[in-house]
Amino acid sequence: MRTRRRISSGSKFEELAAYSRAVIVPDSGGDWVFVSGTTGYEYQSGEISPDVAEQTRQTFRNIASALHQARGSLDDIIRIQVFLADAGDFAIVAPIIGEYCRGAKPANTTLVTGFINEAIRIEIETTARLPRETERYL
């Protein structure tokens, strides 16, 4: 029986709070990939843009990287939860979310909330379902 696998982005927050960027849980029908709440930080530089549109794009790049490490893609997302600091940003980020999620069309919940860091304007959490390896090649 395979065991769960963890993926790290190298973010200092993962080390600090002892969590994984993503956790892959094997299942006979295909692996589940749970991607932690992900922000627009560029993990290599540790910087975050003040622009919510760029934060959204970087967030999806970070999520795509985790899914790629799990042998998946954004098209495998079945659920997305979006957290915004300001409801007024929804009109800006919704079309960007649409760009990245068009292939998957996942279930979506969007909430307005506060964050632990004022620089963060968006955070996204996803769940993906990867097909069994044999289904990938059919």
Q: Select from 3.65.10.10, 3.30.1490.20, 3.30.1330.40, 3.40.50.300 the CATH code of 5-136.
A: 3.30.1330.40
Q: Where are the alpha helices (DSSP H) in 5-132?
A: 12-17, 52-69, 90-101
- Closest Cα to residue 90, out of 79, 82, 80, 78? 82
- Closest Cα to residue 24, out of 36, 32, 35, 12? 32
Per-residue pLDDT of 70-125, as tens digits, reads: 999 999 999 999 999 999 999 999 999 999 999 999 999 999 999 999 999 999 99
Per-residue pLDDT of 36-77, as tens digits, reads: 999 999 988 989 999 999 999 999 999 999 999 999 999 999
Give me the amino acid identity at 28. Answer: S
Beta strand segments in the chain, E: 5-7, 22-25, 32-39, 77-84, 107-112, 122-129
What is the torsion angle, in degrees rounded to the nearest 10, for the CA atoms of residue 10, residue 74, residue 33 and residue 13? 20
Q: Is the whole model's pTM more than 0.85, yes or no? A: yes
Q: So where are the chain's domains?
A: 5-136
The whole-angstrom separation of Cα 117 and Cα 121 is 9
